[in-house]
Chains A and B, each alone.
Chain A
Amino acid sequence: MKYFNSSHARWKAGLFLFLVLLGIQALFFLPGAFASPLTSTEVRLDRLSAGQDSTWELEFTTASAGATSLSVDFTSSWTTNSGTINTSTQAVGNCVNSTGSNVPGLPATGTGTGSTISVSGFTALSATTAYCVAFTTANSVHTPTAGQYTPLVTVGSDTKTAAVDIVASGGDQVTVSATVNPSFTFTMSAASENLTLSTSGVSTSGLTAQVSTNAAAGWQVWARDAASSGPYGLKSTTAGGHTIQYSPAAGSTASTLTTGGSVEGYNLGTNSATGTCNGGAALDTHYDSGGTSLKGGGLDNTLRSLAIGGGTASACTLPLTFNAVSANTTPAATDYTDTVTFVGAGLF
Chain B
Amino acid sequence: MLSGLISAFIVAGSLLPTIAALPSTNNYKLNSYSFGSGGTSNSSTGNYSLEGITGELSGQTAATSTYNQKPGYTETQQANVPKVTLTNPSNYYDKLHFVIDQQDNPSDALYAMQVSTTSDFSSGITYVQADNTLGATLTTADYQTYTTWGGAAGGNIVGLNASTTYYIRAKATQGQFTESAYGPSSNAATVGQQISFCLYTSDGGSGNCSSSTHTTSFSGLVAGSVSSASNSLDLTFSTNADSGGNVYIYSTGKLQSTTVPSGTINSVTVTGGTPVDLTSLSSGYGAQVSSASGISVLPQYNGSGNNVGELSTIINTLLSAASPVTSGTATIQLQAKASNTTPATTDYADIVTVIAAASF
Contacts A42-B359, A178-B348, A312-B343 given: A183-B217 contact, CB under 8 Å? no
Query: Cβ of B241 and Cβ of A163 under 8 Å apart?
Result: yes
Chain B: how many interface residues by the 8 Å CB criterion?
84
Query: Cβ of A42 and Cβ of B221 under 8 Å apart?
Result: no
B48 located at the interface, meaning its Cβ lies under 8 Å from any Cβ of chain A in the complex: no
Shortest A27–chain B CB gap in Å is 10
| A150-171 vs B, Cβ < 8 Å mask (1 yes, 0 no) | 1000000000111111011111
Query: Cβ of A162 and Cβ of B215 under 8 Å apart?
Result: no
Task: Report the separation of the CA atoms of residues A22 and B199 in the bound assembly, to the nearest whole angstrom.
Answer: 58
A191 located at the interface, meaning its Cβ lies under 8 Å from any Cβ of chain B in the complex: no
A179 located at the interface, meaning its Cβ lies under 8 Å from any Cβ of chain B in the complex: yes
B44 located at the interface, meaning its Cβ lies under 8 Å from any Cβ of chain A in the complex: no
Contacts A31-B136, A44-B248, A176-B349 given: A171-B199 contact, CB under 8 Å? yes
Query: Cβ of A168 and Cβ of B7 under 8 Å apart?
Result: no
Shortest A183–chain B CB gap in Å is 5
B154 located at the interface, meaning its Cβ lies under 8 Å from any Cβ of chain A in the complex: no
Partner of A180, one of B246, B345, B351: B345
Q: Chain A contacts of B152 at CB under 8 A?
A: none
Shortest A11–chain B CB gap in Å is 14
Interface residues of A in 198-233 (CB under 8 A from B): 212-216
Contacts A180-B343, A214-B344 given: A146-B248 contact, CB under 8 Å? no
Shortest A335–chain B CB gap in Å is 41
Contacts A42-B359, A47-B353, A160-B360 given: A34-B133 contact, CB under 8 Å? yes
B216 located at the interface, meaning its Cβ lies under 8 Å from any Cβ of chain A in the complex: yes
Partner of B360, one of A41, A146, A176, A177: A41
Chain A: how many interface residues by the 8 Å CB criterion?
63
Query: Cβ of B135 and Cβ of A314 under 8 Å apart?
Result: no
B18 located at the interface, meaning its Cβ lies under 8 Å from any Cβ of chain A in the complex: no
Query: Cβ of A48 and Cβ of B136 under 8 Å apart?
Result: no
Query: Cβ of B195 and Cβ of A163 under 8 Å apart?
Result: yes
Task: Report the separation of the CA atoms of residues A30 and B159 in the bound assembly, to the nearest whole angstrom.
Answer: 19
Interface residues of A in 43-100 (CB under 8 A from B): 43-48, 59, 96-97
Query: Cβ of A165 and Cβ of B193 under 8 Å apart?
Result: no
Query: Cβ of A163 and Cβ of B136 under 8 Å apart?
Result: no
Contacts A163-B241, A174-B199, A276-B341 given: A42-B246 contact, CB under 8 Å? yes
Query: Cβ of B239 and Cβ of A172 under 8 Å apart?
Result: no
Instruction: In the complex, identify which listed stretch (B64-72, B77-85, B170-178, B257-265) lies at the interface while the others stay far away.
Output: B257-265
A348 located at the interface, meaning its Cβ lies under 8 Å from any Cβ of chain B in the complex: yes
B62 located at the interface, meaning its Cβ lies under 8 Å from any Cβ of chain A in the complex: no
B346 located at the interface, meaning its Cβ lies under 8 Å from any Cβ of chain A in the complex: yes
Contacts A32-B135, A148-B195 given: A176-B334 contact, CB under 8 Å? yes
Shortest B147–chain A CB gap in Å is 27
Q: Chain A contacts of B132 at CB under 8 A?
A: none
Partner of A41, one of B162, B216, B355, B359: B359
Query: Cβ of B343 and Cβ of A215 under 8 Å apart?
Result: yes
A39 located at the interface, meaning its Cβ lies under 8 Å from any Cβ of chain B in the complex: yes
Task: Report the separation of the CA atoms of residues A48 and B246 in the bound assembly, to the nearest whole angstrom.
Answer: 14
B340 located at the interface, meaning its Cβ lies under 8 Å from any Cβ of chain A in the complex: yes
Q: Chain B contacts of A32 at CB under 8 A?
A: 126, 135-137
Contacts A22-B4, A176-B217, A176-B352 given: A165-B195 contact, CB under 8 Å? yes
A3 located at the interface, meaning its Cβ lies under 8 Å from any Cβ of chain B in the complex: no
Q: Chain A contacts of B212 at CB under 8 A?
A: 168-171
Q: Who on chain B is nearest to A15 by CB?
A: B1
Query: Cβ of A180 and Cβ of B195 under 8 Å apart?
Result: no
Partner of B220, one of A46, A179, A216, A276: A179
Query: Cβ of A97 and Cβ of B315 under 8 Å apart?
Result: yes
Shortest A159–chain B CB gap in Å is 11
Contacts A46-B355, A174-B351 given: A214-B210 contact, CB under 8 Å? no
**Given known contacts A18-B5, A174-B199, A178-B221, what 4 new A-B pairs fall within 8 Å (CB)?**
A25-B4, A161-B193, A176-B352, A181-B221
Q: Please list the residues of chain B having a beta carbon within 8 angstroms of any beta carbon in chain A.
A: 1, 4-5, 7-9, 11, 94, 126, 133-137, 159, 162, 192-199, 201, 209-223, 229, 233, 239, 241-243, 245-246, 248, 251, 255, 260, 262-263, 265, 314-317, 334, 336, 338-360
**Can you list 11 A-B contacts with CB-CB less than 8 angstroms, sorted by A residue number?**
A29-B7, A34-B136, A37-B159, A39-B242, A48-B197, A161-B360, A168-B212, A174-B351, A180-B348, A183-B223, A314-B341
